[in-house]
Structure 1
Amino acid sequence: MIGGKIALVTGGSRGIGSAVVEKLAAEGATVIFTYHSNRDKAEQLTERLRAQERDVHCLKLDITSREEVLAALEIIYSQYGIPDILVNNAGVNRDKLFVQMSEDDWFEVMNTNLNGVFHITKSVSYKMLLNSKEGSIINMSSVSGMIGSVGQANYCAAKAGLLGFTRSVSKELGRYNIRVNAISPGYIETDMIGEIPEKHKKEMMGRIPLKRIGSREEVANVVLFLASSMSSYVTGTTIVVDGGLTS
């Protein structure tokens, strides 16, 4: 489905990002993923997948720095080529009640979760246009950007912004056969969920019609669908992966 394609995944060293890297690499794509601080995890993932004969490469990147983003992308363009698939997955959360939230808490989340997507997507989509290259851009949003969440005004604002960004850019790039879609995961089994006390987990699952927390692979499966020709007539939409939470 995506054999021979080039995929760029931001924030790919852990959580949903690492599952996406594994999925795309297993399907035959050359995968370049970025990480910010956890070099050990990034290198371990790269080595493990290369041992399985996957074509995977990692690159350290501060996605909030326009200069670093452009320099890293030039390396990717020259060494691997222009990506066919871009997965904007990198993100952080700095949860705090809004009245207690500092400007640093606000801007760190906005700069990572929204502005970083602007820097990378602008460059990659422009390269796609210049080279008449069909492509798929996938933005990782969240159900928090759809329904809001206590203590996450910064995170919810950024993720909601991604949904509007997705719809707008899809209208601009569709004529060039570049598709732009978003994914909004709900409660997914990641390090963040793992830190939640068991009592609260049960309460969470009680609000989910499927009565369980989703797996990272279930999100990665949707990324594969949107990255491949299986979704060739899908653009400007958001696929919600939440077990029915927002239904």
Structure 2
Amino acid sequence: MDFSPASDFLPTTAIVTGSDSGIGRATAVALARAGMDVGITWHTDQAGAEGTAKEVRSLDRKAIVAHLDTTDVPRAGDAMEHLIAELGGVDVFVNNAGTGDGTKFLDLDYATWMSTLDTNLNGAFLCMQAAARHMVGAGRGGRIIAVSSVHEHQPRVGSSAYDASKHALGGLIKTMALELGNFGITANTVAPGEIATPMTGNEDKDPTSIDRPGVPLGRPGDAREVAAVIAFLASPASSYVTGASWVVDGGMLQMGPQAGSHLTGNDWREP
């Protein structure tokens, strides 16, 4: 029997939010290497975004750069409309823009709570909705991938707003998978553990040189290792994968009970 549904979806355009550095930059380059023109967004680091665009163009793919502030919720969708128009469509949308804070629950003020939720969830909703509407209109199917976190699945002390936003993002993606499947659009999350990026303060370090005894693989991840999973989910080969969360954490989540039984102090109670 000749059965090859993967050949029905051949992506040529992608948007990666927060692609001025880290996982976003690695993803933009990986998708360009896979043959896609890429829309690149930045919030505070325009030079970083232009650097990403230079890498994309070096692979003979088109790169469009735009500013995106997902805390400016009403305008988040407008930035997507601009990029989609400049690219001539969007086959793959990767929601990577995000932020975190280290404030414990009792000390967390409402403004910080809302800023984190606007960045990680509310702005993401509008961006993904704009992309999905174009995919439905084009009638060619599509891929929507949200970069969440291992904290989509397990909480962390000092991360009330972050944990809430990532849990909610995972739930949103699952609902999108149910509603968009009929249009040939898949929706998945990728949930990284500690990755050597600006957010973890390890961007310029070789992850293999950093010791992490509590992680089965013994080290943080490289942004390109996350990008490789995203590139798979963006490809024709992932045609039957939707509503899933792909954990990329070196086995960190598997250490829950093991870590709990081996802790010897109370340092974990602080961020």
Equivalent in the alignment of 2:232: 225
Deviations 1:37-80 (A, max 9, x none): 11111112222432443322211111232442233233223222
> CA 1:48–1:239 in 2, change beyond 3 Å: closer, same or farther?
closer
Say yes or no: does 1:43 pair with 2:38: no
Say yes or no: does 1:188 pair with 2:195: yes
Note the C-alpha offset of 1:104: 1.4
Say yes or no: does 1:213 pair with 2:220: yes
Equivalent in the alignment of 2:85: 78
Q: Give 1:144's aligned amino acid.
A: H
What is the TM-score of this pair, normalised by structure 2? Answer: 0.84
Which has the larger Rg? Answer: 2
Q: CA RMSD in A?
A: 2.3
Q: More deviation in 76-85 or 152-161?
A: 76-85
After TM superposition, what 4+ stretches of structure 1 lie above 6 angstroms from structure 2? 201-204
Q: More deviation in 71-80 or 223-232?
A: 71-80
Note the C-alpha offset of 1:20: 0.5
Give yes or no for contact 2:216–2:250 (8 Å, CA) kept in 1: yes
Structure 2's unaligned 5+ residue stretches are 1-7, 255-271
Distance in 1 (alpha carbons) for counterparts of 2:55 and 2:27: 15
1:147 partner SS: coil
Say yes or no: does 1:179 pair with 2:176: no
Note the C-alpha offset of 1:3: 6.9
Q: Give 1:170's aligned amino acid.
A: A
Give yes or no for contact 1:90–1:113 (8 Å, CA) kept in 2: yes
Q: Give 2:37's aligned amino acid.
A: T
How many residues align? The count is: 244
Equivalent in the alignment of 1:27: 34
Structure 1's unaligned 5+ residue stretches are none
Give yes or no for contact 1:4–1:30 (8 Å, CA) kept in 2: no
2:195 partner SS: coil
Matching residue within 58, 68, 72 for 1:61: 68
Give yes or no for contact 1:2–1:29 (8 Å, CA) kept in 2: no
Equivalent in the alignment of 2:116: 109
Equivalent in the alignment of 2:253: 246
Q: Give 2:236's aligned amino acid.
A: S
Give yes or no for contact 1:2–1:27 (8 Å, CA) kept in 2: no
Note the C-alpha offset of 1:153: 0.6
Say yes or no: does 1:152 pair with 2:164: no
Distance in 2 (alpha carbons) for counterparts of 1:164 and 1:82: 26
Give yes or no for contact 2:19–2:52 (8 Å, CA) kept in 1: no
